[in-house]
Amino acid sequence: MDPQRAEPLGSAELSMPRDRLALQKNSVCSRSYFLVVMVFVHVYIINVIALLLYVHYNNGPGDNSGPLSDVTSAAEPPEVGSHTHPPRAPEPSVVNRHLHRMEGIRVGHVQKVQLTPGRVHEMKTLSLKPLLFEIPGFLSEEECRLIIHLAKLKGLQESQVMIPEGGDELAEQLQISQEEIFHLLDHNRDGQLQLKEVLTHSRVRDGIWLTPENIREVYAGLKADPDGDGLLSLEEFKKLNSSAFQHFMQQRGVEKSQLVRNSKHTWLYQGEGAHHVLRQLRQRVIRLTRLPSWIVENSEPLQVVRYDRGGHYHAHHDSGPLYPETVCYHTKLTANASTPFETSCRYVTVLVYLNSVPGGGETTFPVADNRTYEEMSLIQNDVDLLDTRKHCDKGNLRVKPTQGTAIFWYNYLSDGKGWVGDLDEYSLHGGCVVTQGTKWIANNWINVDPDFHRQAQFQQLMADLDSREVHENRDDELYRDMQAERDHPQKNKVYSDQDLHQDL
């Protein structure tokens, strides 16, 4: 092939004038061709960049299985061995605003997922409200045993301790009068507080799980309800502040079984340098949820919980509702905001059963797939659906603990634009009382700020810290703070868990 023969092809593409080409043959052959090459090189490079950017912005980093693939395999995060992978720096400038959300399809639907090389797991939809899945064999027997062992080595602490003094700090901070509280509590607006109206208020704040009988007892002890009908008028309520209420309970003596939760737990760091089983667990969580690795890897460490016989955790939400002022524990430092509304912003909970419990210990979702959610109707005079010691069998859904099985669910709805929306109230769940043996579980929470920009800022900060190689202090500080707050929302930094989040 000589240049003469090649010319028509080239010129057809670029429509160069033939006569110029013929006149300046020598220089044209080098200069024009060079120009052409350069143009194509640049166009090509721009094109590739555009394609890459497009792919990045349209698929989550962990979301690269097309709609045609039968097995939904998130190929990106590879299963890592210990100490082999340097932490990938997040790229906040091109962070994806779209969080993958599984399709539930229908209760009982089974989809295949690839979590470990050479093995396909089955993921079954347990409920749509909340969006809840079960994955048998998520961890092997040995992995479960190892995690229990690591937790024991580290040592467990009581999940809930009695708070010596309660008080109405939040109410004082918000400057709400007793009268306003009364009207907030009086859901049915009959000018009187029923027992259950008092319960929804009090049981969450004080750490003591109150039953209707307890309240009657307190009323009697404090002579708050002279006519003894179990109803409080505004006048009666004004005389009774919650310090008095709690003080009475304290004096009366509170047993562990009367607390919101009765368990011990510890935290296991899963980042660089952690045991390879813990690192692998995190990678498996990324593959399972198909959430961006930069979010999962900056989430809370693994919580391992031990429930002894008689242990329980009354029904609760893993994360709080979102008000305009709400900030997340994990992005609080970045947000630089001061507000009494703080929550853990746990978008997803992945709970793994580390052993098969001989008796009890089910995870209950009392309102799963219920048609409606009404806080008030959860507490009836005879059945309190929130009480996992008494009424676990009355709930809509219970999952039996089976070693290695994981369940995972979304604590927040979608906002319809690919990010985190409102709290999913149906995600209410609890741990039924263990009647025989011991129950061990591991919780992996994925923290996402519903404010996309705050999450992006946080990622930027984490990346900066990563590059400065100050891992140990950074994580410890953040999570010590966070943990203290979660356990004792009224008393920040009074209890600091010294051993929290240290690697083994």
- Judged by the rule CB under 8 A, the positions of this chain that interact with a copy of itself are 1-3, 6, 9-10, 13, 27, 29-31, 33-34, 36-38, 40-41, 43-44, 47-48, 50-51, 54-55, 57-59, 66-70, 97-98, 103, 105-106, 109, 111, 128-129, 369-371, 396, 413-419, 421-422, 424
**Residue 471 CA: distances (Å) to CA of 82, 281, 465:** 17, 20, 7
Shortest Cβ 135–a copy of itself spacing (Å): 15
Give Cβ neighbours of residue 356 (< 8 Å, ≥ 6 apart). Answer: 401, 402, 403
Cα–Cα nearest to 60, from 381, 357, 379, 291: 291
Q: Are strands 429-431 and 363-365 parallel, antiparallel or unpaired?
A: antiparallel
Encoded amino acid at 205, one letter: R
Shortest Cβ 112–a copy of itself spacing (Å): 10
Shortest Cβ 288–a copy of itself spacing (Å): 15
Shortest Cβ 57–a copy of itself spacing (Å): 7
Q: Which is nearer to a copy of itself, 212 or 292 (CB)?
A: 292
**Residue 317 CA: distances (Å) to CA of 159, 166, 194, 204, 378:** 16, 22, 24, 11, 14
Give Cβ neighbours of residue 271 (< 8 Å, ≥ 6 apart). Answer: 87, 279, 297, 301, 471, 475, 503
Cα–Cα nearest to 433, from 267, 302, 315: 315
Give Cβ neighbours of residue 144 (< 8 Å, ≥ 6 apart). Answer: 352, 353, 354, 355, 403, 404, 440
Q: Which is nearer to a copy of itself, 37 or 504 (CB)?
A: 37
Q: How far apart are CA 175 and CA 294, in angstroms?
A: 40
**Tokens in use for 103?**
């399709």
**Residue 170 CA: distances (Å) to CA of 152, 234, 490:** 36, 21, 8
Shortest Cβ 79–a copy of itself spacing (Å): 24
Q: Which is nearer to a copy of itself, 310 or 418 (CB)?
A: 418
Q: Which is nearer to a copy of itself, 128 or 156 (CB)?
A: 128
Give Cβ neighbours of residue 487 (< 8 Å, ≥ 6 apart). Answer: 159, 160, 161, 495
Q: Which is nearer to a copy of itself, 107 or 224 (CB)?
A: 107
> Cβ of 323: how many Cβ atoms within 10 Å?
9
Backbone angles phi, psi at 49, to 5 degrees: -60, -45
Q: Which is nearer to a copy of itself, 113 or 327 (CB)?
A: 113
Shortest Cβ 193–a copy of itself spacing (Å): 28
Determine if the peptide bond prior to 130 is cis (ω within 30°).
yes
Q: Which is nearer to a copy of itself, 189 or 417 (CB)?
A: 417
Shortest Cβ 37–a copy of itself spacing (Å): 5
Shortest Cβ 118–a copy of itself spacing (Å): 23
Shortest Cβ 328–a copy of itself spacing (Å): 21
Beta bridge partners of 53: none
Instruction: Find tokens 């319960």 and name the residue.
Output: 199
Q: Which is nearer to a copy of itself, 57 or 169 (CB)?
A: 57
Q: Which is nearer to a copy of itself, 11 or 192 (CB)?
A: 11
Shortest Cβ 480–a copy of itself spacing (Å): 35
Q: Which is nearer to a copy of itself, 167 or 418 (CB)?
A: 418
